[in-house]
Amino acid sequence: MNAVRPARAGSLLREWRQRRRLSQLELANLAGTSARHLSCVETGRARPSRAMVLRLSAALDIPLRERNTLLMAADYAPAYQESSLDDQDMASVRSALDTMLTAHEPYPAVVVDRCWNVLLGNRAMAVLMDGVPPHLVEPRPNVFRLALHPDGLAARLVNLHEVRSLFLERLLRQVNATGDPQLSALYEEVRQYPEPPGSGEISAGPPVGPIQVPLRIRSPLGELSMFGTMATFGAPADVTLSELAIELFYPLDDFTARTLRELAERELAGHRASR
């Protein structure tokens, strides 16, 4: 056994415990062990069993990807597989995602990974992607870059200051909760984006409650107002599945709902005419 590995596992566990702001006694009680044993694990004086690593990980609500990292640091095999959406084992998941995206039309919806990269989207997403240059779309669009980059949706957001504040706060919470270096790099990138001229205009749209994330978008058809909700899979046992999220956008007013329906009807009519 490599003596360095258990010490590394203990160090990682200590980092997660401190991130969750738990004392050794509190975590030990949650995981069904003693504070003394936990202290020995964290300092590398004791090697935790595989079951103990999993119990501590569950008590700390550590993401599945990082649970695998902890297991490997303690010289154990990963417990959770990581599949591609194209794998046969994920066929039912892919089918469910496609059904959700299609059913949500004529309103926009996307499926994102843990770093907010867009994996799938429905046809209504064209409303949000209109005019976005290739460098923000290829090789894969990212929700935060699309929303906050001055060449992206930011140039059309009436309430960019508000959206920027809400999005950055959301991303920072995720960085603090996960310690993910890729998310941290994304946060540092998008927080430095300059705001386009005129982005401080105030919209005359309906008031927005604190539970809503408003997007007020200038368009040739008028101002479109939407808010987003998030959905995830329950009880995932696969790393990829645990990191997937579906963001569904809904209209905030009748004008937006009517406009999105009309755009969808036009697209459908054009598709039929071309057949």
Domain membership flag for residue 170: yes
DSSP string, 118-160: EEEE-GGGHHHHTT--GGGTSS--BHHHHHHSTTTGGGGBTTH
Instruction: Check if the beta carbon of residue 80 is closer than 8 Å to that of residue 68.
Output: yes
Regarding whether 66 and 154 lie in a shared domain, the answer is no
In a domain, 58, yes or no: yes
pTM reported for the whole predicted model: 0.86
User: Are β-strands 214-217 and 118-121 bridged in parallel, bridged antiparallel, or unpaired?
Assistant: unpaired
Preceding omega of 134 cis (within 30 degrees of 0) = no
Whether 264 and 203 share a structural domain = yes
Residues 219 and 255 in one domain: yes
167 φ/ψ angles, rounded to the nearest 5 degrees: -65, -45
- Number of domains forming the structure of the chain: 2
User: Does the residue 79 lie in any domain?
Assistant: no
Quote the pLDDT of residue 195: 78
**Which pLDDT value is given to residue 208?**
47
* pLDDT of the residue at 235: 83
Q: How far is CA 33 from CA 22, 44, 52, 160, 178, in A?
A: 14, 16, 9, 49, 24
Q: How many CB atoms lie within 10 A of CB 206?
A: 10
Q: Where are the beta strands (DSSP E) in 181-266?
A: 214-217, 224-231, 245-251
CB 129 within 8 A of CB 147: no
pLDDT of residue 4: 44
Task: Based on the fold, state whether residues 49 and 94 are members of the same structural domain.
Answer: no
Residue 24's domain comprises 4-73
Q: What is the mean pLDDT of each run of 10 residues along the chain (275 residues)?
A: 64 96 98 97 94 97 96 96 93 96 97 97 93 92 95 93 92 94 97 74 46 82 93 92 96 96 82 58
In a shared domain, residues 93 and 154: yes
